[in-house]
Amino acid sequence: MEQTIFYILAAVTVIATQFAITERHAVHAIVYLVTSFFSLAVIFYLLGAPLVAVFEVIIYAGAIMVLFLFVIMMLDLGHPEKAARPGGRDWWPAILLGAVTLCSIVVLVAAHPPVVPVGASFGIRDFAFVLFRKYGIAVEIISLQLLFALVGALYLGKRR
Amino acid sequence: MIVPLVHVLVLAAVLFILGLVCVLVWRRNLIMILIGIEIMLNAAMLVFVGGAARWGTADGQVFALMIVAMTSAEVSLALALVVYLHRRKKTVNADEFSEMKG
């Protein structure tokens, strides 16, 4: 049951992401990306990470994508006919690099048939303990980084 | 763990390749470059969460949370930069900003 849901959600994620990167309309690309993030959040939930799933929805789909939409609409970039279209010359290095990486993945997976491991489960309590005890310094550093980003964004956004 | 770790890693790799292709194909459009970086960071998060589920420790999820915080900082700065550049030249075409020739 859960395996089936995982594979369906994986397909939804990949297809939505693929539509997002080939869409020439920036707003449509953002909406496809939000679809992809929602299905990825359910994948996180299935993998035993409900907190990360919630943060994925709140921060990625809720905050970051809305920020993108805000900038696109503020700068009036929603006109695909005015934007520079990628031509055939832009596609071949991307296709080449992607094909090489995909081939290496296929070779690796074919060499080692996968087995379902038995993973121990843990709750939110363990997660919070590890986050604030073991990696407390990392939390402090990441909060400093957010503060610096805020100051930098304010400085860049100031009209001179 | 409901599926083999390899399947999670393959999904993450496919997502990462899609993000890489997005950056490489749309390398003239600043907004689409940022979207490609978002997709790649999501793939990295998926690897961390899959590892946490495989070995049954919370460390992977902690670092997925760190990636979320790092991404929000990066996106806010990058979009402020995009707004600043658009104010200077009225475009988001990355080829227009080549004064430094580097």
For residue B15, give the nearest of A13, A94, A114 by CB distance. A13
SS3 content of chain B, % helix, strand, coil (to 5): 80, 0, 20
* Residue A113 resides in a domain: no
* Residue B37 resides in a domain: yes
* Residue B46 resides in a domain: yes
A51: domain CATH number? 1.20.120.1200
For residue B93, list its beta bridge partners. Answer: B29
Judged by CB atoms within 8 Å, which residues 78-97 of B form the interface with A? 79-84, 86, 92-93
Cα distances from A96 to residues A35, A89, A109, B44, in angstroms, run 27, 12, 20, 22
Q: Give me the residue label for tokens 């929805």.
A: A57
* Residue B30 resides in a domain: yes
DSSP summary character for residue A131: I
Q: What is the extent of the structural domain holding A4? A: 1-81
Q: Are B65 and A51 an interchain contact pair (Cβ–Cβ within 8 Å)?
A: yes
Q: What is the extent of the structural domain holding B56? A: 5-92
Q: What is the ipTM of this complex?
A: 0.89
B71: domain CATH number? 1.10.287.3510
Question: What is the spatial distance between Cα B37 and Cα B16, in angstroms, rounded to a whole number?
Answer: 9
* Residue B102 resides in a domain: no
* Local confidence pLDDT in tens for the 160 residues of chain A: 888 999 999 999 999 999 988 888 888 889 999 999 999 999 999 988 888 999 999 998 889 999 999 988 888 877 766 666 666 777 788 888 888 888 888 888 888 776 766 666 778 888 888 888 888 899 999 999 999 999 998 998 887 6
Q: Is the same domain home to A1 and A72?
A: yes
**Whether the Cβ atoms of residue B34 and residue B75 lie closer than 8 Å to each other:** yes
B81 CA: distance to closest CA in chain A (Å): 6
Q: Is the same domain home to A4 and A57?
A: yes
Q: How many C-beta atoms surround the C-beta of residue A40 within 10 A? A: 29
* Residue A70 resides in a domain: yes
Q: Is the same domain home to A3 and A75?
A: yes
